[in-house]
Amino acid sequence: MQQLTIFMDIESSRSYIDELYSPNEEKIIEALVTLKNSVIGSNRQKSSVIEQGIVPRLLQLMTDDGLDPNIRLEATITIGSLAKGTPENVASLVDQGTTIVLVELLKVVPTGTRLAEACLCALRSIFQHPPAPISALPADMRLLTRLTQIAREGSPTARACVVRILSIWCSGPVEQEALCAAGACSAAAALLASNRYTAPPLARALPALDLLAAMCFENANVSQVALNTRYGDKTIPELLTTLVSRDKPLPVAMGAARCLTFIHRAGALTADDTRVVFGALPCLARLCTKDMPEDIRATAAETLAYLAEVDTSLQRLAAISNHLMSSLAEIVTCPSAAAKQGAFKCFASLGANDEDIRKRIIETHGLMVHVVSGMNNPEPSVRLAAVRCLHSLSRSVQQLRTTFQDHAVWRPLMQLLNDSPGTELLTVGSSTLCNLLLEFSPAKEPMLDQGAVEMLCNLTKRPEAALRLNGIWALMNMAFQAEQKVKQRILCCLGTEQMFRLLGDGDTRVIMKTLGLLRNLLSTRHHIDAIMAEYSSQVMQAVIVVLEGSYPAEVKEQALCILGNIGDGEKAKDLIMANEDVLRKLVDYLAHPEGKLQEAALFVAGNLVWRGEAGAAARQQRLADLGVLRALKLLRARHDAHHLHDRVKTALAQFNDFT
Amino acid sequence: MSFETPTNNGNIRPERRYYDRSKSDDLHISRTDINMLIMNYLVTEGFKEAALKFQQEAGLQEPALCSSLDERIMIREAVQSGRIPEAISMVNALHPELLDNDRYLYFHLQQLQLLELIRAGRAEEALAFASATLAEAGANDRNALTELERSLALLAFPDPHSSPFADLLLPSHSQKIASELNAAILKMENQEYTNPKLCSLLRMILWSQSEFDKHGVKYPKMTDLANATIEQPK
């Protein structure tokens, strides 16, 4: 037996490193074992070995199939140990092509050998350091089939390694489909099977649950395959349902509930499926309770948020499960960012649709204080989640008037939005602003002072359609029944040029809201005249652009409504009367096959012909000359316009002198 | 979701049974079960010779010895007799990932090696060894640092064996580490129970008794585990 020295310090023992290059295989293996024993357990030694440039030699020894198999094994084990060092160590290994060598080796070494196992261990260690070198493992069907075969039939260690590697590797639809085709679903099912009394061991079940979750995430096809994959007499959802029960270890129950959640959200299990309603949901609610470790509670809250994100019945059910509200309120106070953001997201999901739940959330003791302080959290993910929560709650009219006001939530929100936030935060934050700026919201005034108009105008210039929409939407809300100075400020800040640009937007919703803004700006007689005095040509041009362009009917309807508003102005009326093009269009729209356009055109005509106002007679004369009167009479005669008859009659009654 | 429904329904009263100690074999425990438990104890704890003998004498069919038993015995012997580098080398050959994953365990093995040097009175070597290898673990882990300080404090005494930290030099310390290592190896081999099942059974008795005590229930209490002495409630 070799002499074991007490010191196995790399710097002081250059000699055995030289032996690695010896032609004598005996000496190489001795040196390798010494090297291995010195690096295992010590990051300092690992760094030292890497710095001395020994890695390439080790990779060479691993791949040389002319050498003693033990040399190749020990070299691979040593590389595997280096891969358990610091992040820098791992990065350096990856830079030197270790991953590629390991993958190539896996393609050729017979499965079931110790060398194959050592390879898998090393690869797993490398993959567990983010960022995992995912591209080094190609979606090659032969290799994947080989790997899934190991996952089914290999030694316990080999199976756990393969599945862990694949669970990290599976990061998108391409990988999901490739793994599914290579039979990874059935391999995962085999790893989840338990006998009657005991759960599968953690080391086996956890990677399999992670792999299954990664494969099913947002993938309808793979989730459907998982639904029908069996091991023994049980399908995957049935295996998972067994694992969510109380007697299973917490991480296993958590992982199983997460898989069921993903399969549901991918559309393979309905929201009323028993495995969702009695399997995943109660398990997640239980894992949120205060007896659980913080990391489990954090993941459970976040997963529950995803589970209940869209379905109202699941939201209602979750809200009454296992004191979830108070559990979540406690998670918010946990120190870790993961816990806080999980809880905020979960509150956001629960309150997404149901006013009663929102009310209960708000009534949860001290929650608003936490939401406000969450918006100031140094961790971006917590800030985002807190804003999401606020957004969900801001759908409640009552809360806008009461709790939101009490806590001045607009203040941290405006601060966040003015502080160059990321796109995601900006999207959710500006959606929240839209709600805070509704007319009945008392936050409107102070937000104006904080520069809300300027910020929103800038949003309308963003390349992301969602942000432009939120910007213009919020401006529209802000202009609704606003004071004239607010309207002037919006117009002045947005500028007519930008308004025209928005009317040409690729997103119809943006055009709709832009016209909606114009409509809100042009309301009440006094404001109409004041604004038209300054912007008449631009506004008229905007209306004509829309009426003449190829826009959908609902957009044109908005334009006609604007015209109707202008027609309500005292002086503004004349602008329409002076524009023969517009008047002829009016005649056309009164006879339009689309009901809502007819109705809108009637609204415009009604305002223009209104009697008791100065110059009414002259206007009526002109409208009669251009055929408006005839068009109205025709409209009265039409049976399909029955619901408009009253208003047509009123309009015609104005023309007394002509009939 | 399905619930298991008990076989007795409303009109049949569930039969209540008390275990009467004076009656002989009301509850039958098979000899094989007991033998298996004993075997499990011997194998888990690494008593190989005894296990083989017992298998012969009890006429057990399967030699329920797990694959790593020989190695585990050799590793235990090496640790308890102070041949630490040899033990580490054997562990690395058996499970190369073990000591990388459990650095605290690795620290404990190195600490034993340090204690060997101190025991042999090789103070300078001990200090050099501590700064070269143990310092790394001490810098990363508070617990390790405290334990390292306690070990090095032994050097301050002319006779370490009569110092306040003499417990570190007792065989019970290296036995404790050897068991820790043994359990870690078994865990690595995906064995569900790293402790002998007999221990679990005894622990369950203690737990049940403490639950009874908490709720003030009177029951025949086992007061001495080693002799299974049971005292009747007063």
pLDDT digits (tens, 9 = 90+) for A174-219: 999 999 999 999 999 999 987 655 667 788 899 999 999 999 999 9
Range B176-190 average pLDDT: 85
Contact, A547 vs A513, CB < 8 A? Answer: no
Range A379-403 average pLDDT: 85
The pLDDT of residue A43 is above 70: yes
Which residue would you say has higher pLDDT here, A468 or B21? Answer: A468
The band of A620, judged by pLDDT with boundaries at 50, 70 and 90, is: confident
- A149-163, A312-326, A411-425 — which is least confidently predicted? A411-425
A293: helix, strand or coil: coil
The pLDDT of residue A169 is above 60: yes
- A328-332, A449-453, A492-496, B186-190 — which is least confidently predicted? B186-190
Closest alpha carbon to A369 in A423, A408, A334, A324? A408
Query: What does the pLDDT read at residue A14?
Result: 63
The torsion angles phi and psi of A198, rounded to 5 degrees, stand at: -115, 150
CB atoms within 10 A of CB A576: 21
Query: What does the pLDDT read at residue A125?
Result: 96
CA A16 to mean position of chain CA atoms: 55
A121 and B86 within 8 Å at the Cβ level: the answer is no
The pLDDT of residue A97 is above 80: yes
Which residue would you say has higher pLDDT here, A566 or A7? Answer: A566
Query: What does the pLDDT read at residue A505?
Result: 81
Range B131-137 average pLDDT: 85
Range A301-315 average pLDDT: 94
| Three-class DSSP labels, B54-99 | HHHHHCCCCCCCCCCHHHHHHHHHHHHCCCHHHHHHHHHHHCCCHH
The band of A55, judged by pLDDT with boundaries at 50, 70 and 90, is: very high
B190 and A204 within 8 Å at the Cβ level: the answer is yes
Q: Which of A8, A81, A279 sits opposite B96 (nearest CB)?
A: A81
In order, the DSSP letters of A19-33 are: HTT-S-HHHHHHHHH
| Three-class DSSP labels, A223-257 | HHHHHHCEECCEEHHHHHHHHCCCCCCHHHHHHHH
The pLDDT of residue B5 is above 60: no
Q: Which of A5, A40, A198 sits opposite B92 (nearest CB)?
A: A40
Beta bridge partners of B229: B224
Query: What does the pLDDT read at residue B45?
Result: 76
- A70's CB contacts (< 8 A; 6+ apart) are A29
- A379-383, A393-397, B59-63, B226-230 — which is least confidently predicted? B59-63
Report residue A172 as tokens.
């998108």
Contact, A154 vs A109, CB < 8 A? Answer: no
Query: What does the pLDDT read at residue A74?
Result: 96
Q: Where are the alpha helices (DSSP H) in A96-155?
A: 98-108, 114-127, 141-153
Closest alpha carbon to A209 in A225, A226, A223, A192? A192
Q: What is the pLDDT of residues B55-110, one digit of tens each?
A: 888 877 655 555 677 888 899 989 999 999 999 999 999 999 999 999 999 999 99
Range A14-28 average pLDDT: 85
Range A526-534 average pLDDT: 78
Q: Which of A6, A36, A203 sits opposite B92 (nearest CB)?
A: A36
The pLDDT of residue A61 is above 70: yes
B interface toward A at CB cutoff 8 Å? 1, 85-86, 88-89, 92, 96-97, 99-101, 103, 106, 110, 113, 117, 125, 129, 132-133, 136, 189-190, 192
Residue at A304: amino acid letter = L
The pLDDT of residue A144 is above 70: yes
Integer Cα distance of B200 and A282 in angstroms = 31
Range B175-202 average pLDDT: 80
Integer Cα distance of A633 and A648 in angstroms = 8
Q: What CA–CA distances, in Å, run from A13 to A16, A40, A79?
A: 6, 16, 19
B192 and A41 within 8 Å at the Cβ level: the answer is no
A121 and B190 within 8 Å at the Cβ level: the answer is no
CB atoms within 10 A of CB A247: 9
The band of A5, judged by pLDDT with boundaries at 50, 70 and 90, is: very low
Query: What does the pLDDT read at residue A439?
Result: 64
The Cα of B99 is separated from the nearest Cα of chain A by a number of Å equal to 6
Q: Which of A7, A40, A156 sits opposite B100 (nearest CB)?
A: A40
The Cα of B78 is separated from the nearest Cα of chain A by a number of Å equal to 13
Query: What does the pLDDT read at residue A440?
Result: 64
Q: Does A17 touch chain B (CB under 8 A)?
A: no
Strands, E, within chain B: which ranges? 221-224, 229-231
Contact, A371 vs A389, CB < 8 A? Answer: yes
Average pLDDT, chain A: 86
Query: What does the pLDDT read at residue A4?
Result: 42
Report chain A residues whose CB lies below 8 A from the CB of B113: 6
Whether the upstream peptide bond of residue A131 has omega within 30° of 0, thus cis, is yes
The Cα of B138 is separated from the nearest Cα of chain A by a number of Å equal to 12
Contact, A117 vs A158, CB < 8 A? Answer: yes
Q: What is the largest CA-CA distance in chain B?
A: 83
Q: Which of A7, A40, A42 sits opposite B136 (nearest CB)?
A: A42
Q: What is the pLDDT of residues A226-266, one digit of tens each?
A: 999 999 889 999 999 999 988 888 999 999 999 999 999 99
The band of A645, judged by pLDDT with boundaries at 50, 70 and 90, is: confident
Integer Cα distance of A308 and A352 in angstroms = 9
B99 and A44 within 8 Å at the Cβ level: the answer is no
In order, the DSSP letters of A580-648 are: HHHHHHHHHHHT-SSHHHHHHHHHHHHHHH-TTSTTHHHHHHHHHHHTHHHHHHHHHH-STTGGGHHHH
Q: Which of B106, B189, B192 sits opposite A41 (nearest CB)?
A: B106
Report chain A residues whose CB lies below 8 A from the CB of B189: 156
Closest alpha carbon to A395 in A455, A436, A341? A436
Integer Cα distance of A425 and B109 in angstroms = 50
The pLDDT of residue A498 is above 90: no
Range A386-403 average pLDDT: 83
Contact, A477 vs A437, CB < 8 A? Answer: yes
In order, the DSSP letters of A346-412 are: HHHHHTSS-HHHHHHHHHSTTHHHHHHHHTT-SSHHHHHHHHHHHHHHTT-HHHHHTHHHHTTTHHH
The Cα of B142 is separated from the nearest Cα of chain A by a number of Å equal to 17
Query: What does the pLDDT read at residue A629?
Result: 76
Chain A with chain B: Cβ pairs closer than 8 A: 61
Integer Cα distance of A412 and A405 in angstroms = 13
Q: Does A7 touch chain B (CB under 8 A)?
A: yes
The pLDDT of residue A327 is above 80: yes
B101 and A41 within 8 Å at the Cβ level: the answer is no
The model's pTM is 0.78
Q: Which of A7, A80, A203 sits opposite B132 (nearest CB)?
A: A7
Beta bridge partners of B224: B229
Integer Cα distance of A382 and A388 in angstroms = 10
Average pLDDT, chain B: 81
Contact, A522 vs A531, CB < 8 A? Answer: yes
Q: What percentage of chain A has pLDDT greater than the value 90?
A: 44
The pLDDT of residue A362 is above 90: no
- A250-254, A384-388, A584-588, B207-211 — which is least confidently predicted? A584-588
- Angle, helices A98-108/A87-95, rounded to nearest 10 degrees: 70
Integer Cα distance of A476 and A471 in angstroms = 9
Range B41-63 average pLDDT: 78
Which residue would you say has higher pLDDT here, A457 or A16? Answer: A457
